[in-house]
Structure 1
């Protein structure tokens, strides 16, 4: 929702051109740096193709623009157990590949402020977000395993090349250091929640990136926090009337209501 993309095709090769709003340039550059590191580690990630001057990002019409390498394959849906296992394994391998990497300008977890003005958009939002923040911080964030995160590992970010069997991961728009559980919780959220993500979690655990005890202790509070992140995100978009990447305000409203149904299922839709 925070970017625009175009397919670039010269008949023999493909790329993706991606642009973000000017205020997101620094994080965009940092995220593409992560993609480059990951691709060099052997996981296709849509790394930037530098200009003849060696720049990964240039300004076009005032907007940051990058040309990204094409990641072959089909986007996953996460609907089958097989795809869930592939998401879990691939996410764990991404975390392992980035474990020793350090990126200049990386942001740090977390950014949700329960006192933010935009959380007044609906009466339920601020209390629900504050409670989720309190619960995740009670874990002792410093006791969790940290690393560079994808931050939004939806199934469609995973692309499986049927010709090679290789699964890549795209959409590296930010660079964030935080608990690896945040990425795992995000992946779980996208496939329907903890009750539907058993294969995904088991596959992730099978790669020995996180211990079972850490996942059992922290996954549910982190999943709750992930829904609070969604509430915070769409509340801000609604207040600012931000329609970037969507067809109309109803999509922002739906995003906020999806968060409400998870954070405050006792409340009727507003």
Structure 2
């Protein structure tokens, strides 16, 4: 989207916005850092129309989290209260800018702050799934829809079915709630002033699920850092020691995360989506890695012995 076209669309917010700078990354959306004549900063985020329902769920959850004291990059409502502007290019939201830095995954202290913030988010949001569409409430009708509608090899379909069945059988033993759904390092903003001001942003993958799912996602998304999971769990337990009762099922939910990745890449391949990737080969490689993750867990993202 051209700069002038973006600023024209942002006029719907009736704010003195004057400049937008593209931000890097983004597999599922396009983002800009937006500044105003008064010095305030925001983030503009454009999502595909096909993912509008999930995007709106995430915006509503972020607003609820912010209202309960968690820094979340909440949406700024348009005049009239709507959260998005519907454009030819997709759906556009204006988000509060969250200052801070991305965690250093080589730092045990930063990893513990990530874990503690994730536990705070779970505590704040609880299990109120009213902001979510039915497809994204447990036990995830969207998985059944993918199995029904997506063209995939039989071995992949069988693996997805088996992993999801195991998760549904284990879920009654576990605490559930509204989870972020994609808590990688880039979704955390660590405050230079106080951990109490740390922020959790990018809520476009929000779900209702066993709380373990977010920890499993974090384990997968920090898998290149030895000992990362140990420090994440340590930070989480400083806020919520009772998570220890659920951790015997964490390995299963790591496989569930890989299952979600497998469906994600299968859908991208089917629709020819290349945004954020290195081309078609990156989608195929992502799918192959996800399938391998469903079948056998690397030792470094298993539950550490002291938490087992």
TM-score (norm 2): 0.77
Give SS of 1:52's match.
coil
**TM-aligned CA distance change 1:108 to 1:100, over 3 Å:** closer
Give SS of 2:65's match.
helix
Q: Is the 8 A contact 2:129 2:208 kept in 1?
A: no
1:202 maps onto 2:234 in alignment: yes
Deviation larger for 89-98 or 156-165: 156-165
**TM-aligned CA distance change 1:174 to 1:130, over 3 Å:** closer
- Structure scoring higher RCO (CA < 8 A, sep ≥ 6) equals 1
1:237 maps onto 2:268 in alignment: yes
Count matched residues. Answer: 263
**Higher helix proportion (structure 1 or 2):** 2
Provide the residue aligned with 2:4 in structure 1: none
Q: Is the 8 A contact 1:230 1:259 kept in 2?
A: yes
In 2, the alpha carbon distance for the partners of 1:162 and 1:34 equals 25
In 2, the alpha carbon distance for the partners of 1:28 and 1:163 equals 30
Give SS of 1:138's match.
helix
In 1, the alpha carbon distance for the partners of 2:151 and 2:118 equals 31
1:132 maps onto 2:163 in alignment: yes
Shift of the alpha carbon at 1:251? Answer: 2.2
Gaps of 5+ in 1: none
Provide the residue aligned with 1:8 in structure 2: 34
1:158 maps onto 2:188 in alignment: yes
In 2, the alpha carbon distance for the partners of 1:112 and 1:102 equals 18
Matches within 5 A, 1:1-270: 1-10=27-36, 12-61=39-88, 63-99=90-126, 101-106=128-133, 107-109=136-138, 110=140, 111-113=142-144, 115-116=147-148, 118=150, 120-121=152-153, 124-139=155-170, 141-165=171-195, 166-192=197-223, 196-208=228-240, 210-216=242-248, 218-264=249-295
Per-residue CA distance 1:140-182 (angstroms, 9 max, x = gap): x233211111011111100112134421001012442221111
Gaps of 5+ in 2: 1-26, 298-308
Q: Is the 8 A contact 2:111 2:228 kept in 1?
A: no
Shift of the alpha carbon at 1:240? Answer: 2.2
Deviant stretches of 4+, over 4 Å = 193-196
**Superposed CA RMSD:** 2.5
TM-score (norm 1): 0.87
Give SS of 2:199's match.
strand
**TM-aligned CA distance change 1:138 to 1:101, over 3 Å:** closer
Q: Is the 8 A contact 2:256 2:294 kept in 1?
A: no
Q: Is the 8 A contact 2:61 2:131 kept in 1?
A: no
